[in-house]
Structure 1
Amino acid sequence: MAKYLISFPSAAMVVPDGDWEAVGRDAHAVIDDAKAAGVYVFGGGIDEAVPPVLVSADGSVSEGGYPWAPALDGGFCVLELPSRDDAISWAARIAKACRCAQELRVFQFDPQS
């Protein structure tokens, strides 16, 4: 089985103010289903109130991430699934719940992870 990253940037969630409660309820329901199915690995949202730091190999720390990279924000989950088709099905359920399209990526297999 492979691990899949299902994610979206914050800007993708364009939800009318009155719908946020329903979005939260629906998104949590899909994650509860993934947990019940035994495919949930972990997930959450990037805390955008806490700025990133860049930690170098020598241990030095500088404010901000890579200056050339786009900001990493939004929400994500990692699911362990038997096929890409299964991952697409879960991503579609999450997209419906969150009211925005989801990016789907597969992690390369690493026998030590």
Structure 2
Amino acid sequence: MARYLISFDDGGMDHIPTAELPEVGKATHAVAQEAVDAGVFVFGAGLERQQASVVSTDGMVTDGPYPETKEVIGGFVVVDVASREEALAWAARFAASCRCAQEVRELLPDPELDAMLRRADRRR
């Protein structure tokens, strides 16, 4: 299994009339519930539309994103699926429900981090 980030750009849903947003939210939550029921949903969220902060390696905090940034993430879902094709199929479902294009990127596997998370889960 591989994890994929399915995301959309901030502003990707700006074309949707405000009155239709509850319907879009309901449709998107229904797809998320289907992903949960299928056992592939890992995590997802929308991001607040606000200025980000950038923390450098020396701990200095500045306002971001950098001026040359053209697009920032507006929301995302992480799925754990058997193939890229399956991730693309889920992305298509999320794109239809939230009425905006989705970007799909595979997350790098990190067995050490996965082991840390399993140990933390056992302690809960």
Same fold per TM (> 0.5)?
A: yes
**Higher helix content, 1 or 2:** 2
The code of the aligned residue for 1:24 comes to G
Q: Matches of 1:43 and 1:73 in 2, distance apart? A: 12
Aligned residue in 2 for 1:54: 54
Superposition pairs for residues 1-113 of structure 1, below 5 Å?
A: 1-13=1-13, 14-49=15-50, 51-113=51-113
Conserved? CA contact 2:53–2:65, under 8 Å: yes
- Note the residue ranges of structure 2 that are not aligned, 5 or more in a row: 114-124
**Paired residues of 1:6 and 1:76 also in contact (CA < 8 A):** yes
Partner of 2:118: none
Deviation at 1:52, TM superposition (A): 1.3
Normalised to the residue count of structure 2, the TM-score between the two structures is 0.81
What is the identity, as a one-letter code, of the residue corresponding to 1:105? Answer: R
**Which deviates more, 38-47 or 61-70?**
61-70
4+ runs deviating over 3 angstroms: none
Query: What does the per-residue CA deviation read over 1:35-61, in whole Å, with 9 as the maximum and x for residues that have no partner?
Result: 121111111111113x21111112121
Q: CA RMSD in A?
A: 1.5
**Residue type of the partner of 1:58?**
D
Contact 2:10-2:71 within 8 A present in 1 as well:
no
Give the count of matched residue pairs.
Answer: 112
Q: How far 1:97 moved relative to its partner?
A: 0.5
